[in-house]
Amino acid sequence: MARGLGKGIGALFPTETLENIQPNEDQVEKIDLQKLVVNPFQPRRTFDEEAIAELAQSIMEHGIIQPIVVRKKGKRYEIVVGERRFRAAKFANLKEIPAIVRSLTEDQMMELAILENLQREDLTPIEEAEAYQSLIEKLNFTQEELAKRLGKSRPYITNHLRLLTLPEEVRALVDKGELSMGHGRTLLGLKNKRRIPDVAEKVIKHGLNVRQLEALIKQLNEEVSRETEKPVNKDIFVQATETQLREYFGTNVQIKKSKNKGKIEIEFYSEDDLERILEILQLEE
């Protein structure tokens, strides 16, 4: 499924900023590959070696059609856009590569690296989620604003970001493609979060599809509910108040009282649901 940006880099950067990074033929320089270093803000962690080899073959036959974009730093150059071309050029044993040298801040460098990669279709769901998270943190966007800027739906952004709440070892399985994004999202529905890694291993071991995993999660959650169910005698006032709060918040609400204190528990089932409740409580910024 394509995950490229709906509106391109122009959706996030004004025209005058874009003019600073657009290639111009008379500004192309030949730079020694030995002087190039990779972008420290590169969101992509894995590169398909076979695809790099194919690109290298194309470069040997046709040359590098589009220059890479770099930033000078000391005696070296940091790659802003075009790391795949750089890797393929090394694979093809080239000594130099055509490049556009631009004066960019670290913020601009990070933003361009993320956006350039988001326009491709081969980021893993975890890499994509981390790219969205970086843009939210760096540009101070809300999920809603980011979704509009990128031409995505709010749930699309939210569902990717939720993957980052998975345990680290399970995120790695999604990152490597051993679990799909659908598997990852479904695992987050498990009530006993400590069991997520074990259930993830079971998915891989038995080759469960998402529908089968959903059934397993439902069964496990029902077991948790039975284990934690305890008969509670609540007075009429508390029961009536719970009903009133459930209707007000549109979700399950429980009032728990002890001898000297009490607490109100409001359930939510997703980040969107939590934000909706916070808005009702007027705690959302």
For residues 65 and 233, which has the higher predicted lDDT (pLDDT)? 65
User: Bridge-partner residues for 266, per DSSP?
Assistant: 253
How far apart are alpha carbons 246 and 78 in whole angstroms? 55
Backbone angles phi, psi at 93, to 5 degrees: 65, 30
Q: Per the domain annotation, does 210 fall within a domain?
A: yes
268-283, pLDDT tens digit by residue? 766 767 877 887 787 5
Which CATH number goes with the domain that contains 83?
Answer: 3.90.1530.30
Q: In the chain, how many H helices and how many E strands?
A: 13, 7
Options 78, 83, 128, 275, the catalytic residue? 83
**What's the confidence (pLDDT) of residue 41?**
67
Respond yes or no: is residue 168 known to be catalytic: no
**Whether 110 contacts 79, CB under 8 Å:** no
Q: Are residues 256 and 207 in the same domain?
A: no
224 and 246 share one domain: no
User: Rounded to whole angstroms, how far apart are CA atoms 155 and 121?
Assistant: 19
Q: What span, in angstroms and rounded, lies between the C-alpha atoms of 129 and 125?
A: 6
What is the domain count for the chain? 3
Rg for the chain, CA atoms, rounded: 25
User: Across the strands, what pairs with 255?
Assistant: 264
pLDDT tens-digit series, residues 81-136: 888 899 899 999 999 999 988 888 777 777 777 776 676 656 789 988 988 888 88
Prediction pTM value: 0.56
Q: What is the pLDDT of residues 3-51, one digit of tens each?
A: 444 344 444 443 334 344 444 444 788 999 999 988 776 666 667 788 8
Alpha carbon distance 133, 278 (integer Å): 21
Q: What is the mean pLDDT of residues 194-209?
A: 93
Conformation bin of residue 214: beta by default, left when phi > 0, alpha when psi is -120 to 50: alpha
User: 108 and 35: one domain?
Assistant: yes
Examine the fold and report which residue of 91, 120, 149 is the final residue of a domain before the chain moves on.
120
Q: Has residue 19 been placed in a domain?
A: no
For residue 94, tell me if it sits in a domain: yes
Range of the domain at 107: 28-120
